[in-house]
Chain A
Amino acid sequence: MSALLEVRGLEVGIGGLPILRGVDMEVRPGEILGVVGETGAGKSMTARSVLDLLPAAATVDFASCTFAGQDFIPPKARQEARGHRIGFVPQRPRGSLNPVFRVGNQLSATLRRLRDMGRREAKDEALGLLRSVRITDPERVYRSFPHELSGGMCQRVCIAIALAGEPDLIIADEPTTGLDVTIQAEILRLLGELITERNAAGMLITHDLGVVADVCDRVAVMYAGRVVNLGTTTEIYREALHPYANRLVSIATSLDSGGTPREIPGRVPNPGDRLAACAFAPRCFRAGPGCFDAEPPRIDRGGQIAFCHHPVNAGEVPR
């Protein structure tokens, strides 16, 4: 199946520091891809590169980038896709809505801009969108300012804005950070349903593996500016090839079952730290001498892709 969004060899640097070091990933039509990893792994940077929303100081370089067959390397192509072809759900919903305008105005202004609607039509459509993100009293929310709404409500409005241009892909950048735990699951389920309902594809960035298991079809695990493991959610959960991904999953599952997780020693390298050939090698329980010297090979096994010298074999790691 040909990919909707395909990113190859994405490199991003800020002030000479490498942030992304050759990211490869693709989102297929109709699927939801989960992108997981610790803070600083480059998840948000990857998403922002696709929308050309990086800070001015960043340098971006793709080996190739296509969206529905269109060349996405020119920044203009990526800018024009914003809202129209790619919807974006932000990390901090309340801060992401303009504080001085009513949320209804922001939503209908988006509709008028993206879909050339008239005032009247845009308002009706906006109310419909608010209803579709399961807001029970859209009229009241339409008239509210962001500071009058809860974080969860703001995120629903942001999702409505992301859907306004009827995009083919929705990128959600840690959409539940800062929300109450009780509504996190609700928002994610909503997002998943909406993407499926609209025959769109999704890219869900999170550091919560539990979330991924519920919503995503495939998972990309990132570490220190690279995708180290990519596969279907089922495969990654059953037995991730990459030791890092494997450990993440076992931590998540042992937390879920109330056990004590075995932590990963050490910490994530900062951008600019001297990295071994495999950035995870210093923290890896399977690392051998080769890991520090040679780039890890690409392993393609059982529906997974991993970059590792010593991929985890089935049944090898005790849970």
Chain B
Amino acid sequence: MLSYLIRRVAALIPILIGVTLLAFIVSHALPGDPARQYAGINASDAQVEAIRERLGLDRSLPQQYCIYMIGDTCAGGSGKGGLLRGDLGDSIRTGFSVAEDVGARLPATLELVAAGMLFALVVALPLGVWAAVRKGKLLDKFCRFISTLGVAVPDFWLAMILLLVFFIVLQWLPGPVGRLPIGATLPDGPTGLYLVDTLVAGDWATFWSAVKHLLLPMVAIGFPAVAPILRLTRNATLSVLNSDYIAFGRAAGLRGAPLYLKYVLRNALPGAVTMTGLIAGYMIGGAVLVERVFSWPGVGQYGYNSLINTDYPAIQAYVLLSAVTYTVAFLIVDLVQSVIDPRVRLK
């Protein structure tokens, strides 16, 4: 198991190096000149050139990539910086180190994506099993409707509709002001996940407030994921229900909830797990728009702002983060798969 993990992680390295190269090329191919943007509208050409030189943007592209990856040794420096030393570089836009910027925003996105994923699973798994058991009945048709809706409705639009209904009309939930009310004291905890930090601190008022702020973004980002998981679970459950071992289980007196929850769901799960991994990676991308609608201070917004400001190091870090999320999600999927199904051997 441990050697499997080591080999899997080692196999990630070439993939991630490829991703950095791609992210580098694509971000530099973007229209826009970061030096000019950084200098401001009124800067003279000489000032812009000076900034360009300071940012190292006057060098050739291969040299820039080399500096990004290996550090200033490439430019005859003393061996500082570079991705391989764990340095993501400094943001052109904010001036801070990209690692710090991303680190400060990552918990917000993680909390959002985890909540969205949880929402999707809690809705989709039981509903999928139930729809299969009641195939062709009203509930099954309702689930098909939900699935179609989930595919057809974009998350940012759903986000706005949710705000319209629950904030403006019903006034049940807070508006798009981020994770907590404006001016609230931010919880100071080790994880940066507000729900966890406030729980640990026993700060119930802030916890409840954070929950209320999380609800709408959670549904907005989670709902589109309900459809594929629901459909997959339903179809997997149908084929499990027709299997010999379910027939034999029934013949041996197995009925009701134990049959469906233990026997059926466990066997129907693998497909849904794979889909969940895929979606978790996708959600990081989906977070961009949902975070914008809810002023959620996460990496999605950061990535968006970096992109429109041609902030090369930040864009590259954002792309790299997405790639890492995907690959880690797949690794987790494979591990979970081997736990669910003993026939899956990790080699």
Please give the residue numbers on chain A whose beta carbons come within 8 Å of chain B beta carbons, in ascending order. Answer: 51, 53, 79, 82-84, 87-88, 90-92, 95-101, 110, 113-114, 145, 147, 158, 161-162, 164-165
**In the complex, what residue of chain B is closest to A107 when comparing beta carbons?**
B252
B170 in the interface (beta carbon within 8 A): no
Q: Can you list 23 contacts pairing A with B, beta carbon distance less than 8 Å?
A: A82-B251, A83-B251, A83-B253, A83-B254, A84-B253, A88-B248, A90-B244, A90-B247, A90-B248, A95-B243, A95-B245, A96-B248, A98-B245, A98-B263, A98-B267, A99-B245, A99-B341, A100-B267, A101-B266, A110-B253, A113-B253, A114-B253, A147-B342
Chain B residue contacts of A110, Cβ below 8 A:
252-254
**In the complex, what residue of chain B is closest to A91 when comparing beta carbons?**
B244
Chain B residue contacts of A99, Cβ below 8 A:
245, 267, 341-343
B8 in the interface (beta carbon within 8 A): no
Among B249, B267, B341, which residue has the most Cβ atoms of chain A within 10 A? B249
Chain A residue contacts of B263, Cβ below 8 A:
98
Chain A residue contacts of B255, Cβ below 8 A:
79
Chain B residue contacts of A98, Cβ below 8 A:
245, 249, 263, 267
Chain A residue contacts of B254, Cβ below 8 A:
83, 110, 113
Return the CB mask of B239-271 against A: 1 if under 8 Å, else 0: 000011101111111110010000100110000
B340 in the interface (beta carbon within 8 A): yes
Chain B residue contacts of A147, Cβ below 8 A:
342-343
Chain B residue contacts of A82, Cβ below 8 A:
250-253
* Bound CA–CA A84/B341 (angstroms): 30
Q: A92-B244, A98-B263, A147-B343 are in contact. Are A53 and B250 (CB under 8 A)?
A: yes
**In the complex, what residue of chain B is closest to A102 when comparing beta carbons?**
B342
Count of B interface residues, CB-CB < 8 Å:
20
Smallest CB-CB A-B distances: 3 pairs: A83-B253, A88-B251, A96-B248
- B171 to A: closest C-beta gap in Å: 47
- A147 to B: closest C-beta gap in Å: 5
**In the complex, what residue of chain A is closest to B269 when comparing beta carbons?**
A100
A100 touches B266 (CB 8 A): yes
Chain B residue contacts of A165, Cβ below 8 A:
252-253
**In the complex, what residue of chain B is closest to A173 when comparing beta carbons?**
B251
B244 touches A95 (CB 8 A): yes
**In the complex, what residue of chain A is closest to B341 when comparing beta carbons?**
A100
A97 touches B245 (CB 8 A): yes
Among B252, B255, B266, B342, which residue has the most Cβ atoms of chain A within 10 A? B252
Q: A84-B253, A100-B340, A165-B253 are in contact. Are A53 and B247 (CB under 8 A)?
A: yes
Q: Which one of A91, A92, A101, A161 lies within 8 Å of B252 (CB-CB)?
A: A161
**In the complex, what residue of chain A is closest to B136 when comparing beta carbons?**
A56
Chain A residue contacts of B340, Cβ below 8 A:
100
Chain A residue contacts of B243, Cβ below 8 A:
95
The total of Cβ contacts below 8 Å across the A-B interface reads: 70
Among B249, B251, B266, which residue has the most Cβ atoms of chain A within 10 A? B251
Chain B residue contacts of A161, Cβ below 8 A:
248, 252
**In the complex, what residue of chain A is closest to B251 when comparing beta carbons?**
A88
Q: Which one of B248, B250, B252, B342 lies within 8 Å of A164 (CB-CB)?
A: B252
Please give the residue numbers on chain B whose beta carbons come within 8 Å of chain A beta carbons, in ascending order. Answer: 243-245, 247-255, 258, 263, 266-267, 340-343
* Bound CA–CA A101/B266 (angstroms): 10
* Bound CA–CA A101/B248 (angstroms): 14
B247 touches A145 (CB 8 A): no
**In the complex, what residue of chain B is closest to A96 when comparing beta carbons?**
B248
* Bound CA–CA A161/B251 (angstroms): 10
* Bound CA–CA A260/B243 (angstroms): 39
Q: A95-B245, A96-B245, A98-B245 are in contact. Are A88 and B252 (CB under 8 A)?
A: yes
- A15 to B: closest C-beta gap in Å: 14
A96 touches B247 (CB 8 A): yes
Among A100, A145, A147, which residue has the most Cβ atoms of chain B within 10 A? A100
Contacts A53-B247, A97-B245, A99-B342 known; list 7 others, CB within 8 Å: A53-B250, A88-B248, A90-B248, A100-B341, A110-B253, A110-B254, A114-B252
- B247 to A: closest C-beta gap in Å: 6
Chain A residue contacts of B248, Cβ below 8 A:
88, 90, 96-97, 158, 161
Chain B residue contacts of A79, Cβ below 8 A:
255
**In the complex, what residue of chain B is closest to A86 when comparing beta carbons?**
B251
Chain B residue contacts of A96, Cβ below 8 A:
244-245, 247-248
- A145 to B: closest C-beta gap in Å: 5
- A301 to B: closest C-beta gap in Å: 37
- A112 to B: closest C-beta gap in Å: 11
**In the complex, what residue of chain B is closest to A164 when comparing beta carbons?**
B252
B249 touches A51 (CB 8 A): no
A162 touches B252 (CB 8 A): yes
- A52 to B: closest C-beta gap in Å: 9
Chain B residue contacts of A95, Cβ below 8 A:
243-245
Q: Which one of B244, B251, B253, B342 lies within 8 Å of A100 (CB-CB)?
A: B342
- A10 to B: closest C-beta gap in Å: 18
Chain B residue contacts of A88, Cβ below 8 A:
248, 251-252
Chain A residue contacts of B245, Cβ below 8 A:
95-99
Chain B residue contacts of A97, Cβ below 8 A:
245, 248
* Bound CA–CA A110/B267 (angstroms): 18
Chain A residue contacts of B252, Cβ below 8 A:
82-83, 87-88, 110, 114, 161-162, 164-165
- A175 to B: closest C-beta gap in Å: 12
* Bound CA–CA A97/B248 (angstroms): 7
* Bound CA–CA A88/B266 (angstroms): 23
Chain A residue contacts of B341, Cβ below 8 A:
99-100
- B82 to A: closest C-beta gap in Å: 47
Chain A residue contacts of B267, Cβ below 8 A:
98-100
**In the complex, what residue of chain A is closest to B343 when comparing beta carbons?**
A147
**In the complex, what residue of chain B is closest to A47 when comparing beta carbons?**
B251
- A79 to B: closest C-beta gap in Å: 7
B253 touches A145 (CB 8 A): no
- B137 to A: closest C-beta gap in Å: 11
* Bound CA–CA A107/B312 (angstroms): 61
